[in-house]
């Protein structure tokens, strides 16, 4: 225990004796983040909106009602609706000037009222990554709502269809009676369904859309920027193993009774402090600028520290496997620079091509980054962290065990 504490104190003193290293671990991501946000649009407070073209080929009462639903207050904040003809809408999409086009086919109302299957067509702009996905989600929501209505109010819809057909004829007392029966039946069903409707998809959709509202480029990039800082720190902390070796202290340690495991445990503890030291200022800055929930800060710090320990364990193994200090630095860069680029730490995965984003989500930094980002944006929950927590802890243990083996196998005694 005394050696563990002495070793932790020694490590911390050595880290604080190099303030420039810590400044670089913080400063470079800050600089990169600032530049990229400036180039990509930043977080100027403007809510990104989906430019949705509406091609209403049906031109009916129900197709109009559908468009009205999209224009409702909550959805209206997310959508810019533009009525177009299908052909001109396609041309607008081809020019990349809209996110998606919703085509309401002719016969939509008739099919809906007859409880027949009907399909809306959504054409998305492949040049945009995020906004079309939002359009897909929003229109799917509306379609789901329509489908539920179709199932729940089948007889009433039939009656409405009949009434619409009869409007051509002269309306009489029978019509008034039918409207009264329709209103009464609908009200009864709504009253029964009300408890279930409170947990209806509409509510869930509101949460989804509010989270997506905040997903500006800077917001999407912020967790990656923190991860970039963590990666720099992890690499720097791991390189210290070579310094210990070159100073002869690692070799001297092997002639004492102190176990290498305790030496590495002390490094884990002191590295955690160093990682918090690096993450905290960037985190405070980001949470303030992006107006994030301060309650998420402890989780963010803990999660990124865990990520840093795993990445530091990986970097340490690379260092002790390398035959020279120079090659250690080179191998480390060869591994971590691509991870930075692909794993969402340099560009948000949302702005990279799909195949690359899929790959990036499975990189060591990507796998840690995605649940945190979803949580901060508001589209993820705590349960998503659990499996990755297990994976990262297991990976850290395996990598550390391999490093101990390598230290014992010769790295520490040369």
Stretch that binds other proteins, among 11-19, 111-119, 286-294, 368-376 (CB under 8 A): 11-19
Cα angle vertex 182, ends 185, 59, to 5°? 125
Strands 79-83 and 100-104: unpaired
The two tokens of residue 272 are 């955690």
**Binding residue for other proteins, selected from 198, 255, 324, 354, defined by CB under 8 A:** 255
Question: Does 323 contact other proteins by CB under 8 A?
Answer: no
Please report how close the Cβ of residue 281 comes to other proteins at its closest, in angstroms.
23
**Binding residue for other proteins, selected from 256, 323, 355, 382, defined by CB under 8 A:** 256
Output DSSP code: residue 363: S
Distance of CA 197 to the CA centre of its chain: 28
The two tokens of residue 397 are 């243990």
Please report how close the Cβ of residue 249 comes to other proteins at its closest, in angstroms.
5
Q: Number of residues in contact with other proteins, rule: CB under 8 A?
A: 24
**Binding residue for other proteins, selected from 87, 170, 199, 257, defined by CB under 8 A:** 257
Please report how close the Cβ of residue 329 comes to other proteins at its closest, in angstroms.
20
Q: Which residues pair with 43 in a beta bridge?
A: none
Question: Does 253 contact other proteins by CB under 8 A?
Answer: yes
Q: Which long-range contacts (CB under 8 A, 24 or more apart) does 111-115 make?
A: 112/62, 112/146, 112/150, 112/157, 113/62, 113/157, 113/158, 113/160, 113/161, 113/164, 114/158, 114/161, 115/150, 115/154, 115/157, 115/158
**Binding residue for other proteins, selected from 71, 247, 334, 398, defined by CB under 8 A:** 247
Please report how close the Cβ of residue 308 comes to other proteins at its closest, in angstroms.
22
**Binding residue for other proteins, selected from 2, 167, 324, 354, defined by CB under 8 A:** 2
Helices (H) and strands (E) in the chain, counts: 18, 4
**Binding residue for other proteins, selected from 140, 251, 325, 361, defined by CB under 8 A:** 251
Question: Does 3 contact other proteins by CB under 8 A?
Answer: yes
Stretch that binds other proteins, among 51-59, 256-264, 351-359, 378-386 (CB under 8 A): 256-264
Q: Alpha helices of 17-115 — where are they, by DSSP H?
A: 19-40, 61-70, 73-76, 86-94, 108-113
Q: Could you tell me if 52 and 100 are in contact, meaning their C-beta atoms sit under 8 angstroms apart?
A: yes
Question: Does 1 contact other proteins by CB under 8 A?
Answer: yes
* Residues 166, 156: Cα–Cα separation, whole Å: 15
Q: Which of 9, 10, 1 is nearest to 249 (CA)?
A: 10
Please report how close the Cβ of residue 9 comes to other proteins at its closest, in angstroms.
7
Please report how close the Cβ of residue 411 comes to other proteins at its closest, in angstroms.
12
**Binding residue for other proteins, selected from 163, 258, 260, 395, defined by CB under 8 A:** 258
Contact positions toward other proteins, by CB under 8 A?
A: 1-3, 5-7, 9-10, 13-14, 17-18, 247-249, 251-258, 413
């Amino acid at each position: 225990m005394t050696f563990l504490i002495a070793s932790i104190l020694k490590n911390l003193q050595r880290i604080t004796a190099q303030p420039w290293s810590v400044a670089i671990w913080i400063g470079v991501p800050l600089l990169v983040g600032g530049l990229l946000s400036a180039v990509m649009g930043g977080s100027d407070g403007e809510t990104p909106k989906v430019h949705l073209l509406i091609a209403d080929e049906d031109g009916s009462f129900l197709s109009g009602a559908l468009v009205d639903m999209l224009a409702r207050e909550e959805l209206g904040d997310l959508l810019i609706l533009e009525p177009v003809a299908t052909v001109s809408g396609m041309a607008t999409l081809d020019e990349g000037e809209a996110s998606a086009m919703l085509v309401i086919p002719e016969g939509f109302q008739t099919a809906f009222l007859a409880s027949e299957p009907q399909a809306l067509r959504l054409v998305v702009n492949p040049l945009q990554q995020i906004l079309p996905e939002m359009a897909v989600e929003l229109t799917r929501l509306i379609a789901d709502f329509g489908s539920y209505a179709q199932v729940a109010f089948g007889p009433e819809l039939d009656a409405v269809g009949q009434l619409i057909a009869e409007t051509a004829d002269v309306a009489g007392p029978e019509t008034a009676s039918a409207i009264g029966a329709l209103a009464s039946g609908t009200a009864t069903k709504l009253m029964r369904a009300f408890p279930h409707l409170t947990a209806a998809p509409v509510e869930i959709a509101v949460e989804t859309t509010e989270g997506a509202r905040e997903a500006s480029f800077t917001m999407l990039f912020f967790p990656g920027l923190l991860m970039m800082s963590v990666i720099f720190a992890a690499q720097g902390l791991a390189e210290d193993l070579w310094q210990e070796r070159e100073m002869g202290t690692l070799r001297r340690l092997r002639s004492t009774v102190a176990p290498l495991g305790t030496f590495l445990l002390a490094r884990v503890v002191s590295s955690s402090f160093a990682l918090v030291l690096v993450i905290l200022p960037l985190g405070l800055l980001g949470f303030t600028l992006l107006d994030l929930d301060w309650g998420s800060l402890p989780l963010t710090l803990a999660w990124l520290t865990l990520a840093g320990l795993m990445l530091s364990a990986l970097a340490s193994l690379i260092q002790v496997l390398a035959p020279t200090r120079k090659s250690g630095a080179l191998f480390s860069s060869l591994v971590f620079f691509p991870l930075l680029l692909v794993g969402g730490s340099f560009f948000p995965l949302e702005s990279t091509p799909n195949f690359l984003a899929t790959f990036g989500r499975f990189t060591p930094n990507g796998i840690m980054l995605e649940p945190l980002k979803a949580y901060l944006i508001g589209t993820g929950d705590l349960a998503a962290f659990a499996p990755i927590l297990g994976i990262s802890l297991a990976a850290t243990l395996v990598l550390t065990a391999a490093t101990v083996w390598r230290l014992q196998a010769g790295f520490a005694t040369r």
